[in-house]
């Protein structure tokens, strides 16, 4: 099993470093470092919750496989909130709690879910990643003005994106945000199993950003990688190894220990269905025609 330092401690400190500018982060560093060291505490760098598999774009090389959903769907809001509350009940701190799609701004009850995340004292930062095809309405903007809020705008250079308008709204409302201009993507390849050895899976997983960040919850289960979550949801892969079942694991010390073991995993079976390690660069956001 991988070391606590590399898989949890260091990513937590890095996440704070990225989210809190300079000296203002000293108090947060101290609090998180103390909780990371104290026995029995449960602090994790980030969690991403999928709200919908519907997207307003249709990217050919989507790492999360959205174009393969014949029947994309919104998740039931009450169930999503119950899963989030169960998870938060069993941890002490999540540094960054992300809401994602598909495109999260087309999820009808984004505001309701965001409010739960923002109100939790266990969440240090709430994050939304958007493709900026849909602008937030006034009630969402009001919520987003919360000091814990952070918005990541992905700019793929697709015509229907309103990146400048979205960023202007963020500035006008004092909402922390970044605009990430992608110059290239790495092609993840198809959904077939590649037959890689366990040694190869370990090597690829540990070299990948996803082995330290972006644990993804979909339908009450946490996955080691967002691609794995959708590979399982679409039926291309079955895995018990890559999953921590939030909904069906009883609350208590066993939950915390199970989640820690999950974070410290040495490999992900999802890497057997992924070409990221090949590093083949492709144009970002290339659009497929809708069926």
Query: Binder to ligand SF4 among 210, 216, 249, 265 (CB under 6 A)?
Result: 210
107 touches 101 (CB < 8 A): yes
Query: Binder to ligand SF4 among 62, 208, 218, 246 (CB under 6 A)?
Result: 208
Instruction: State how far the Cα of 131 lies from the Cα of 114, in Å rounded to an integer.
Output: 17
Query: Binder to ligand SF4 among 80, 113, 167, 225 (CB under 6 A)?
Result: 225
Q: Which of the stretches 1-9, 67-75, 83-91, 202-210 binds ligand SF4 when contact is defined by CB under 6 A?
A: 202-210
Q: Tell me if 274 contacts ligand SF4 by CB under 6 A.
A: yes
| Shortest separation between residue 31's beta carbon and ligand SF4, angstroms | 29
Core vs surface per residue 205-241: b (16+ CB within 10 A) or e: bbebebbbbbbbbbebbbbbbbbbbbbbbeebbebee
| Shortest separation between residue 208's beta carbon and ligand SF4, angstroms | 3
DSSP bridge pairs for 155: 181
Residue 187: C-alpha distances to residues 145, 231, 277 (Å): 35, 16, 10
DSSP tag of 241 = T
Q: Which of the stretches 81-89, 121-129, 133-141, 273-281 binds ligand SF4 when contact is defined by CB under 6 A?
A: 273-281
Q: Which is nearer to ligand SF4, 129 or 161 (CB)?
A: 129
What is the length of the chain? Answer: 291
Reading the block at residue 176, the tokens are 């922390």
Query: Binder to ligand SF4 among 126, 216, 268, 285 (CB under 6 A)?
Result: 268
Q: Tell me if 125 contacts ligand SF4 by CB under 6 A.
A: no
């Amino acid at each position: 099993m991988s070391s606590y330092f590399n898989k949890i401690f260091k990513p937590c400190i890095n996440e704070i470093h990225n989210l809190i500018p300079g000296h203002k982060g000293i108090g947060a560093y101290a609090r998180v470092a103390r909780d990371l060291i104290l026995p029995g505490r449960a602090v994790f760098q980030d969690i991403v919750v999928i709200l919908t598999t519907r997207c307003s774009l249709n990217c050919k090389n989507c790492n999360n496989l959205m174009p393969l959903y014949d029947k994309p769907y919104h998740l039931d809001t009450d169930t999503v909130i119950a899963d989030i509350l169960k998870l938060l009940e069993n941890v002490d701190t999540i540094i960054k709690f992300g809401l994602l799609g598909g495109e999260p701004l087309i999820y009808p009850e984004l505001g309701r879910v965001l409010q739960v995340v923002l109100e939790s004292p266990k969440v240090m930062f709430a994050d939304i990643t958007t493709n900026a095809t849909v602008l937030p309405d006034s009630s969402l903007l009001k919520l987003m003005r919360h000091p814990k809020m952070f918005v990541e705008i992905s700019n793929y250079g697709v015509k229907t994106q309103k990146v400048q308008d979205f960023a202007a709204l963020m500035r006008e409302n004092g909402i922390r945000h970044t605009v990430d201009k992608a110059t290239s993507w790495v092609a993840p390849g198809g959904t077939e199993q590649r037959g890689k050895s366990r040694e190869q899976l370990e090597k690829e997983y540990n070299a990948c950003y996803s082995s330290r960040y972006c644990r993804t919850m979909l339908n009450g289960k946490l996955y080691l990688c967002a691609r794995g979550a959708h590979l399982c949801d679409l039926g291309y892969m079955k895995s018990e190894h890559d999953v921590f079942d939030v909904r069906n694991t009883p609350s208590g010390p066993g939950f915390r220990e199970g989640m820690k073991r999950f974070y410290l995993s040495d490999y992900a079976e999802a890497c057997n269905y992924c070409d990221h390690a090949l590093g083949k660069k492709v144009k970002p956001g290339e659009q497929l025609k809708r069926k």
